[in-house]
Structure 1
Amino acid sequence: MIRHKKLIALTMAAAVSVTMLPAVTSTGVFAADTTTGASNWTPSPAPAPAPAPAPAPKPAPAPSPTPAPSQPSTSAPVETSVTGIFRLLMEGSFGEDVKLLQTMLNNISYKLSVDGIFGKLTAAAVREFQGVNGLAADGIVGPKTLGKLAPAAPAEAEKTVGPAVDTIATASIVDNNADFEKAIGTEGFWLAATLKDLTFTAPLVLDGNFVNDDGKEARKIALYTQDENRNVIDNFTLTAPKLTIQSPSGRLQNGGFVGDLYVNAAKFEIRGTKVIGNVYVSEAGFKLTNAKVEGNVFYTTQAAKDGAVIDAKSTVSGDIALMQPDVVTTASLVDNADAMMAGLKADGKWIVAAIRDITTDKEVVINGTFTDGKKDAEGNDVIRRKLAFYSQDDKRNITRVFTLTAPKVWVNSPNTVFQGGIFNGDVYVNAKGFNLVKQTVNGNIYFMTQEAKDTFKTDAVSKVNGEKVLIQVDAVTNASLVDNVADLEKGISTEGTWIVSLSRDLAVNKALVMDGDFENTKTPPAVARKLALYSQDADHNITRNFTLMAQRITVKSPNARIQGGIFDGNVYAKGENFQLVKTTVVGNVYVSTPNFKMTSSKIDGNLIFMNAEAAASFTKDETSSITGSTSTVAQ
C-alpha cells in the first residue's frame, strides 16, 4: 500500500464505471505519442457513479406501514465538472474529484456534505468503507478503494474519444518489487507502470513477445505518472545492476534508470529517460528520443550501429562506439573495480574488458584456468586469459585506451594477456605464459617462479617502466608481500605472517611493532620472524634493496631478523635472538635481550645494551660495523 505522499496523479483509471483489476491492474489509456517525446497516460472517461457493495444501511427504529425505497442520501444532488478521479485522495485534498468521491460514498449510504473538501468526516467514511470491504483502513483513496467504489460496467458502454490511443486494460500498475518483476516477465503485461521508485540488487529482464490493445507488437516500462490533461506529474527511478531487454519493440519511458542496459531485442527505444550507466545494443532499430545517457553507448554489431537513431535532443556523456566482437560476445565488460574483480575470479570470464579508466586501492587477483573457445593445431582447447584495456572499431582498430590503477595485480591464471592500455602498479606473476601486447606497465613485474619468468613474453611496443625480477621463493609462498603502510603493519603484527617482504620503499610517520610467535616453513619448522627489505633471484642473489623509514621499530617476536635493505629509524630489540643480516640501520639500536647478532650489517648510529646480559651475549662478524659508540646502561 502506498503511504502518504504528495498529491500525485496516478497512471490508472479511477473513473466510476471502469473495471479495476485486483491488486495491481487498472483500466485507462496511454495517449498517442507527442512531439515532446514523452507518452501521456490518461484514464478512460466514465459515466455517472453506480452503486457498489457497501455497508448495509442501519435499520430504522420502527418499520413504516407503507414500505418505500430508502433514499441513499438527503443531500441535494451536486453537479461536478469531472467524470473520474485521477490522483490519490486523502485528508487535506480538495477539488471537484473530492466532490465526486463524496457523491459516490453518499450513493452507498453515507451522508456527507458534497463540498469538495476531504475533511475528517470524509476520511472517517472512507476508512469505514475500506474496513467493511476488506481493505487497509488508511483513509487514502487509491486504485483498490476506487475498485470497490466503481464496480465493472458493461464493456459496450466504454467509448474512446479522439485519436487512437493505447488502452491499458492489459497494463500492470505496480508499487513493489515482486509485482514489477512479474509484470516485466514472460507471463506479465505488455505495459508495466510503477507508482514509486524501485531498487533491485539482482539483474532484471524484460522478456516475452506482446502486443498492445491495438494488436501491435509492443512492450513498455513506464516510469512516470500524469494527470487527466496528459501532463507528467511525477517521474520515478528504477535501479538495478543490469536490465536486459529481450522483448521486441520495447520502450523505456520517462523517469530514470540507474544501472547498465543490455538491448538484445530489435526496435528498442529510450524515450524521455535519464540512464545512469552504459547501454549495450546488439540489435537494429535502437532509438534515443529526448533521452540522456550518463555513460557510454556501445554497439555490439555493425547492424546495430548502422540502424540506430539518436535525435538532437538526446545526449550521451561518454563514448558512442562499436565494441570489439569477441569482447562483447564472450567478455565481462566492466566499468568499476568491483565488477572487474568479480570477472577475474575463477568463476568469471576468460576475457575481462575495461570500458573506462578504473582506480582501486585493493589488490586485484586473476584466478582460474580458462579457454578462449579456439583450438590449436592438434585440436586441443587454447588456454588463455585476457585483461583488455581498450575499445576498438569493427576493423579492430583501437579507438580508445584505458588505464587501470591498483597497488598490485596477482596473475594466477596461465597464459594471461594484458593488452592495449596502461596499468599503474606492480604485477606478481604466479603462472606461466604471462604476456604483454601493446601494453604499458608503470611498475615492477615480480615473477614468483622460474617458469613464470622463463615463459614471460612481450611484444615490441609494450613497455615496463620498472624492474622484471624473480623474487625469493619463501617470500612468495609464505610471506606477506607489502607495498603500503597498512599491509606492513598488519603483516608484522600478531595476526600477520612469519615473513614480511617489502616490494618498494616505504615511509611510515609512526612507530612500528613486530610482535607474535611464528614458525618458518622448514622441516622441522622452527620459531622465526623476518622482515625482508629486498628482492632476489632464483639463486638467492639480492637484486634490489628497499628502504623502510619509521620513527622506530620495536621487535618483540623471538628469533626475529631484519634482512637486507635499509631501516631508517631507531630499533628496539626486546625479543630473544634478534639479528641484523645484510642490512643497514640509520639510527640507534637498543637491545634488551640476549644473543643479539650482526651479520654483514651496519649500524649508522649507536648500539646501546639495556643490561649486562644482553651486552655479554652480543656477536658480530668481521664485515659488520658500528659508526657510533657501543655502551651498556648502568643497572
Structure 2
Amino acid sequence: MKKFLSLTLVILLSLVVLTGCGGSQQATNEDQGQEETDVVTTASIVKEEQAFQEAITKDGTWIIATLNDLSFDQELVVEGTFHDKGNSDNEVYRKLAPYSQDDDHNITERYTITAPKMTIKSPNTKFQGGTFVGDVYVQANGFTLEDATVEGNIYFATEEYKSSANITDKSEVTGNTEVKGSTDVVSAASIVKEEEVFKKAIAKNGKWIIATLNDLSFDQKLVVEGTFHDKGNSDNKVYRKIAPYTQDDNYNVTERFTISAPKMTIKSPNTKFQAGTFVGDIYVQANGFTLEDATIDGDLYFATEEYESSANITDKSEVTGTVSVK
C-alpha cells in the first residue's frame, strides 16, 4: 500500500533534497529546486497565532498553511498583492490553507481558524480545506472559498467583489452572504476588549457601533459624543449603538457584558444601548436614546423633557433607579 506523506514531511524532504543534492545533480534538479523555493522560501507554514498574523500581512507570504487550530481575540486582516508560487511572472494569487495533505494532494486533516472577523484585502485570495469561525469581510476581487466552511457571514464591500467571488459546491457558509459597504463592516465599527479603546471609540471621532467582548470598568465618567449614521454610511439615518454582548449567526444574544463607570453622558443623537448592563448613572443630552433588552443599574436622567419624550425604554429593559428629567 502506498504510504502517505503529510505536508510536514513533504517540506522536510524538500529541504533534504535542497541540502543533499550537488555536483552532477545540480542541472537535473534545477526545476525541482524552483518548486522547492515555491513551497519553502515563499511559503509560510505556521503553528502559532503570532506567526499566522505576520504571514497574512502585506509583507507576508503568498501561501499560509497551518498545522493546527488557531484562535484569535482580535480581527485578522489579509492584505498585500502576491503571486502564485511567489513568482511575479505568475498570476496574482494568495492562499490560506488550514489543512494538511498527502503526496497526492488529498486532504488528510482540516483545521479551524477562529477570530471575531477576517478582512480580505488581497486580490484573488483562496481559503481552502478548513474552517473559519467568525465573519469574513471581502474588500478585493477574486475571493474563493474552496472545499471549506465559514461559520459566520461573508460580507462583500461592493457588488463587484461579490460577483467576482467563487464559493464552490463543496463549501458552506452558515450565515449570510451579502453586500455591505466597507464603511459598514470594517472602518466604521469598533470591537473592543480594553477600556482605553472603548473610550476612543465613543468619542466624537470614534465609531458608529461599539461592541465589547468582555466586561469593562472605568473610574471616571464616560462621554458618548458626535453624530454618526447607521452602518457608517452618511446616506443612512443618524444612529449610534453601544453593544456589550455577543450573538450567534441568527442574531440571538449568546453572552452579555457589563460596563461600569460613575456615569455616562449620551450626547450622540439616536444612541442605542443594547443587551448588556451599565452600572452607574446615565445622563442623556440628545434625542432618540434607546435602551433595548438592557439594564441600567443606576439612575437615568434626561436634560430636557424633549429628550425624555423621544427616548424608548423597551419592555425587556430595566432601570433599577430613577428615570427623570434633571
Verify same fold: TM over 0.5. yes
Partner of 1:131: none
Partner of 2:75: 363
| Consecutive unaligned residues in structure 1, runs of 5 or more | 1-277, 288-302, 304-322, 535-542, 612-635
Alignment partner of 1:352: what SS?
strand
C-alpha separation in 2, matches of 1:445 and 1:388: 18
CA change 1:330–1:451 in 2 (3 A) is same
- 1:175-194 alignment runs, 5 A limit: none
CA change 1:597–1:413 in 2 (3 A) is farther
Given the alignment of the two structures, is residue 550 of structure 1 paired with residue 283 of structure 2, yes or no?
no
Partner of 1:395: 104
Deviation at 1:598, TM superposition (A): 6.4
Q: Select 2:292's aligned residue among 584, 608, 624.
A: 584
Given the alignment of the two structures, is residue 283 of structure 1 paired with residue 16 of structure 2, yes or no?
yes
* Equivalences, count: 283
Deviation at 1:390, TM superposition (A): 1.7
Deviation at 1:364, TM superposition (A): 1.9
Partner of 2:188: 479
C-alpha separation in 2, matches of 1:568 and 1:413: 39
C-alpha separation in 2, matches of 1:479 and 1:490: 15
Letter in 2 for 1:420: G
Partner of 2:215: 508
Letter in 1 for 2:215: V
What is the TM-score when the length of structure 2 is the normalising length?
0.66
Deviation at 1:436, TM superposition (A): 1.1
Larger RCO (CA under 8 A, 6+ residues apart): 2
- 1:210-289 alignment runs, 5 A limit: 281-284=14-17
C-alpha separation in 2, matches of 1:359 and 1:342: 15
Confirm or deny: 8 A CA contact 1:393 1:399 kept in the other structure: yes
Letter in 2 for 1:609: S
Of the two, which has the highest radius of gyration? 1
C-alpha separation in 1, matches of 2:309 and 2:61: 51
Letter in 2 for 1:435: T
Deviation at 1:402, TM superposition (A): 2.5
Two-structure CA RMSD over aligned residues (Å): 4.5
What is the TM-score when the length of structure 1 is the normalising length?
0.37
Partner of 2:131: 422
Deviation at 1:549, TM superposition (A): 4.5
Deviation at 1:335, TM superposition (A): 2.3
Deviation at 1:366, TM superposition (A): 0.5
Deviation at 1:434, TM superposition (A): 2.1
Deviation at 1:418, TM superposition (A): 0.8
User: Going by fraction, where is helix more abundant, 1 or 2?
Assistant: 2
| Consecutive unaligned residues in structure 2, runs of 5 or more | 1-10, 21-28, 30-34, 245-249
CA change 1:469–1:568 in 2 (3 A) is farther
Deviation at 1:387, TM superposition (A): 0.7
Letter in 1 for 2:258: A
Deviation at 1:367, TM superposition (A): 0.5
Partner of 1:346: 58
Q: Select 1:410's aligned residue among 105, 119, 124.
A: 119
Deviation at 1:458, TM superposition (A): 1.6
Q: Select 1:452's aligned residue among 161, 167, 183.
A: 161
C-alpha separation in 1, matches of 2:101 and 2:292: 51
Given the alignment of the two structures, is residue 530 of structure 1 paired with residue 259 of structure 2, yes or no?
no
Letter in 1 for 2:67: I
Letter in 1 for 2:134: G
Deviations 1:34-88 (A, max 9, x none): xxxxxxxxxxxxxxxxxxxxxxxxxxxxxxxxxxxxxxxxxxxxxxxxxxxxxxx
- 1:28-47 alignment runs, 5 A limit: none
C-alpha separation in 1, matches of 2:139 and 2:123: 8
Given the alignment of the two structures, is residue 593 of structure 1 paired with residue 303 of structure 2, yes or no?
yes
C-alpha separation in 2, matches of 1:499 and 1:332: 36
Partner of 2:314: 603
CA change 1:473–1:387 in 2 (3 A) is closer
CA change 1:600–1:381 in 2 (3 A) is farther
CA change 1:429–1:548 in 2 (3 A) is farther
Q: What percentage of residue pairs aligned between the two structures are identical? A: 27
